[in-house]
Each structure stands twice: as structure tokens, then as C-alpha cells.
Amino acid sequence: MKRFPQKATLPALAFAAFIGLAGCVKKTFDTEVKRILTEEYSMTEEQAMVGVGGALRYRFMTERDGKLEFNYHSLKLEDVLSKQRDMKQSLQDILNPNDAETRRFVDLFNQRAHFEREEQKVDYRIDRFSLVLTYDKFVRLMKSQRRGNDSVGITNPYPQGLTDLDIMFAGTNLARLLQFTAKYVDDAKAGNRLNQIENLVMSVQYEEEEPNPDYPQVDPNNATRWVQRSRALRIMSFDCDTQPDHRADYIEVYRIGADGTPEANPAIKVFKSQGSSTLDVAVLDRNPANQRGHGTPDDVESLSFIERGSELYDSRRDLLESLFKTPEVERRQLPKEAPIEAEIVRVGELGQQEFQISTDGWSCPLEYRVGNNYSLWVKFKDEESHDHANPRPREIEYVAKRYFVPGSSSDVQARVVEFYRVKPEFAQRVRLVTVNNETKMLEIVREGEAAQKGMDSLFLERDRNDLVTPFRIDYDSGNLRISLLDRDRNPEPLYEAKAEMSRPHTLNLRNDARTE
């Protein structure tokens, strides 16, 4: 077996022994020390072998009362955590549902639940080591200490004298042991002089594109999907001084839930480090109240030039946004394997497959109307032969409203276009149509009649509720362009048909009208 595969793929399991035995040269600490001692210090092979052992002793052991003891702080905590993350990666690789070979291996021997449990164990250890490492960073930042990179041959004490075993032992109360706080704040709280000098609430609602969990096994056509999200935060700044100077010494930031209630624990705490005049050490808890890890910091950052909470919004919005991790879409969904069939269809037997039909009707999930943020596009029906020298009167096929971002000429994000039919009394024998996109007025000149002018709604077909509704709505969704169609307009306005096509780069919309 190969000693250190980084990736637990099935080929590694099946092939590794062969390579290992083939005599592949691997540069280990052992071989490298030996090489240096023989080549650079002219030692004999035997001396170098003893030298290797000496190197191991000096690096990983300490001598006490004539006895050798292992030094569990001889490695950096980062290296111990990194190893746990390697193990997690191995498990993720083997549980990857999109790797067909490992999936077959795992399922053939019914190992999925076992590996998932192993992953949970590794997650536990990663959480524990990460917390200790985060605390270590917090303490150093609060003392304005920096650590060098070269740790070879030195001891790297872990906080509170913890060893790997102490950290893995669930009986060690890390939350109590590792207090992410500062004495001046604790004193102010105890002395009841935590004076709030700023209270800022901010909220935003928006749409976000995220990976589609059904892609590619269930839904091979949409790699992404759009979801509605909202975010709200409360930022509070406190003066902790005995003689209040109305300057912030401490900041707390809380996530606000959908019901408007702030979470119990701050998502960010910002402190002043030793001797600092500004708030320069931020402790972050990125897990919301309903998730494991809430109330336990998972990151510490160094800040610059922050004097009060509102400045976080002005200059460190990235930090605030990082509190709203997009929920991880479950990518480990096992593919739904279709039965293997043999299907033979001759050309001509396929029939029409253009629409998906729903008796309940389809609806457009987007909000895109902000007043009259559309432009008008009019299309005549195509004719088989059209004499440009002697044009005949035409029939209007539709009037389209193409929506744009208010104050700009850009389409709204999903490039929404609504299509309307024109009332029969205006649609036939048309010579000329003129549109005014400022006023949303249409002017229609019909054969042998005076021009008729009015708001677009005057000319457009109404449903049985006397509302002007489009018979078709087109919009982008992920990699697709969707068309919703109300084909019969009867008895209710209902988009019973849906068509999907690949999202085009540009919208080809024809305009046969003259624009004022």
C-alpha cells in the first residue's frame, strides 16, 4: 500500500501495493537526513543512520530525569489540524457521488453509512482543533504578537497547555477554557458601564444564483438556480470607559432572524488589542443560531482604522457579508439511476414535444416591475410573400414589453419580456404603428382610417377579469430561457404551457414599429 495517498480513490487502493513494491524512491525525513550527513558532512552510512535517530530524538523528545519523553508540542497545531483535514478529504473523495468507480465500490460493500459516520468523527476533531487554533490566533492578536514561520526544533505550546488528547477529549470544556473576550470589556460589563453609543440596523432582500442540487443527475439542464434571500444585522458600539468619552471601545454585531429577533450570541465581536487606539481584533461566529457551532467563534481577523460599528458597514462590508454564508447545497445526493432500456424511435415517430403542460398553470417567480420600466416592441405577422414596392396592410402579431433596470438601458437580470395580443379591432389591416417609450403611447394607423393614439393598455387584449395580461412571458433561469404560455386564454388567464430552451447570449426581438 502506498503510504501517503492524498486522495482515496479506488485506483489508489487497488494499485498502490504494486507501486510500493516496485521500489519507488520516496524522499522521507529518514533518507534525507542520511543523505545530508553522508554527502555534506562526509559521514559513513552507519554514522548517518545513528544521526537519523538522533535527529528524531532531538526533535520529538525531551529528557527528564534521564528518561526520554515525547514532546506533543513539537508540531504546530496547524499541522495537526491539516492532517485531520486530509482525512476529511479522503472521505469526501470516497463519498463523492459523481465518481462512478468509488460510488460502485462504496455501494457494492454497503459502506456509505459507515464512511459518513467516520466523516462525522473527523468533523468533530476538526471543529475542536480549529477552535483552539482560532483562540491561539486571538490571543496573539490581542497581544500584538506575530509568530515566525520556522518552527523546526522548537516547541510550539498550545493554548492552556492543551495537547491533542486534551483537545479530542469531549470532557475538556473548550468553550469555558478558551474565552474570546478582553478584560476591559468584562470589567465594563461587571461594572454595568457598557454604554451603547451607536445602534445600527441594516437589512436587504435579494436574489442569489446558487448551484442546483439536482444537477446533473436529476436535472441535467440547469447547473444553477435562483433563490430569494434576505439579510439583516444589528451593529452596536459601546463605550467601556470609566469616564465615558463617547468613543467606541467594543462592538457587537448580531444577525437578525426572519422574525426580526436578533440571535442570542453576537456574530462579530470587535476588541481593541493591547495598546491600540482603534478597534483592531474581530472575532467571528459564522454559524447562525440554528446550526452547530453557533456561539463558538470560528475565525479571528485583524482590522485597521475601525473606530465605531458603522465603519464596519462602510469599509468592511466583506466581513459582514461573510456572516451570511450561502447554505451549502447538498452535493452528495446520489444519482437516481434510470433502468437501462433499449429505445428505438424512427424519424417521424417523435411528434411534438415542445411544451410541458400543467393543469394548475406555471407562474413566473420573478419580481421585475418597478413602475413602467419597459420598452414597447411591436411585431407584424410574417407573410409568405411581401411586396416591398406595394406593401399591403399587415396584422399585428403581438406587442412586447421588454423590462429594463430603472435608470439604465440594461435589461433586468432575468431579461424578462411580456407578450400581449392586440384587440382584434386594432390588430387587422394596419399600415403603421408608432411607439413612444417615454409616455408608453401607441399610435396605430389602419387602412382607410384615421390614426388612433392612446396608452398601450387601450389597445391590448384583456382577460375575462378585464385585466391586461400577457399571453406569454419569457425570462432567463440559470442556463435556460423559459417561455410561459397561455395558449387558449380561456376560461382563466393561466399559463398552462411551458417551453425551455438554452439561454441565448442576446435577445432577438423584432420591432416593426416606428419609434418616436
What residues between 321 and 340 interact with another protein by CB under 8 A? none
Set of cell numbers at residue 179: 474565552
Decide: is 111 part of the binding site for another protein (CB under 8 A).
yes
Picking from 126, 489, 69, the residue whose alpha carbon sits closest to that of residue 296 is 126
Q: How far is the CB of 239 from another protein (least distance, A)?
A: 35
Q: Return the residue matching grid coordinates 417521424.
A: 348
Decide: is 22 part of the binding site for another protein (CB under 8 A).
yes
CB nearer another protein, residue 34 or residue 415: 34
CB nearer another protein, residue 164 or residue 496: 164
Decide: is 264 part of the binding site for another protein (CB under 8 A).
no
CB nearer another protein, residue 54 or residue 244: 54
Decide: is 343 part of the binding site for another protein (CB under 8 A).
no
Residue 70 has phi, psi (to 5 degrees) of -75, 140
Q: How far is the CB of 348 from another protein (least distance, A)?
A: 39
What residues between 28 and 87 interact with another protein by CB under 8 A? 28-30, 32-33, 36-37, 40-41, 46-47, 49-61, 68, 70, 72, 75, 79-80, 82-84, 86-87
Decide: is 165 part of the binding site for another protein (CB under 8 A).
yes
Q: How far is the CB of 154 from another protein (least distance, A)?
A: 10
CB nearer another protein, residue 152 or residue 389: 152
CB nearer another protein, residue 49 or residue 364: 49
**Contact window for another protein (CB under 8 A) among 159-167, 248-256, 323-331, 482-490:** 159-167
Out of 64, 176, 183, 292, the residue judged to bind another protein by CB under 8 A? 292
Q: How far is the CB of 332 from another protein (least distance, A)?
A: 16
CA distance 249 to 195: 10
Q: How far is the CB of 291 from another protein (least distance, A)?
A: 10
Contact assessment for residue 95 and residue 332, using Cβ atoms and an 8 Å cutoff: yes
Cα–Cα distances in Å, from 510 out to 261, 389, 391, 473? Answer: 50, 21, 18, 16
CA distance 110 to 119: 16
Is the preceding peptide bond at 216 cis, omega within 30 degrees of 0?
yes
Picking from 234, 231, 232, 240, the residue whose alpha carbon sits closest to that of residue 199 is 234
Decide: is 461 part of the binding site for another protein (CB under 8 A).
no
Element (H, E) at 17: helix 10-21
CA triplet 242, 244, 250: central angle to 5 degrees?
85
Decide: is 27 part of the binding site for another protein (CB under 8 A).
yes
Out of 117, 369, 381, 386, the residue judged to bind another protein by CB under 8 A? 117
Q: How far is the CB of 150 from another protein (least distance, A)?
A: 8
CB nearer another protein, residue 46 or residue 330: 46
Picking from 109, 77, 133, 93, the residue whose alpha carbon sits closest to that of residue 10 is 93
Decide: is 9 part of the binding site for another protein (CB under 8 A).
yes
Out of 96, 115, 298, 468, the residue judged to bind another protein by CB under 8 A? 115
CB nearer another protein, residue 11 or residue 335: 11
Alpha-helical regions (H) of 295-391: 310-315, 317-321
Alpha-helical regions (H) of 61-182: 77-95, 100-108, 112-142, 164-168, 174-177
Out of 65, 66, 146, 152, the residue judged to bind another protein by CB under 8 A? 152
Decide: is 157 part of the binding site for another protein (CB under 8 A).
no
Neighbours of 149 (CB within 10 A): 6
Neighbours of 169 (CB within 10 A): 12
CB nearer another protein, residue 150 or residue 318: 150
Decide: is 237 part of the binding site for another protein (CB under 8 A).
no
CA distance 133 to 10: 33
Decide: is 289 part of the binding site for another protein (CB under 8 A).
no
CB nearer another protein, residue 293 or residue 493: 293
CB nearer another protein, residue 50 or residue 501: 50
The DSSP-derived string for 450-481 is: --EEEEHHHHB-B-TTS-B--SEEEEEETTEE
Q: How far is CA 458 from the centre of its chain?
A: 45
CB nearer another protein, residue 57 or residue 386: 57
Out of 16, 200, 256, 499, the residue judged to bind another protein by CB under 8 A? 16
CA distance 279 to 311: 10
Decide: is 175 part of the binding site for another protein (CB under 8 A).
no
Set of cell numbers at residue 366: 420573478
Out of 96, 99, 124, 256, the residue judged to bind another protein by CB under 8 A? 124
The one-letter amino acid at 149? N
Out of 64, 66, 122, 239, the residue judged to bind another protein by CB under 8 A? 122
CA distance 503 to 483: 11
CB nearer another protein, residue 14 or residue 204: 14
Decide: is 313 part of the binding site for another protein (CB under 8 A).
no
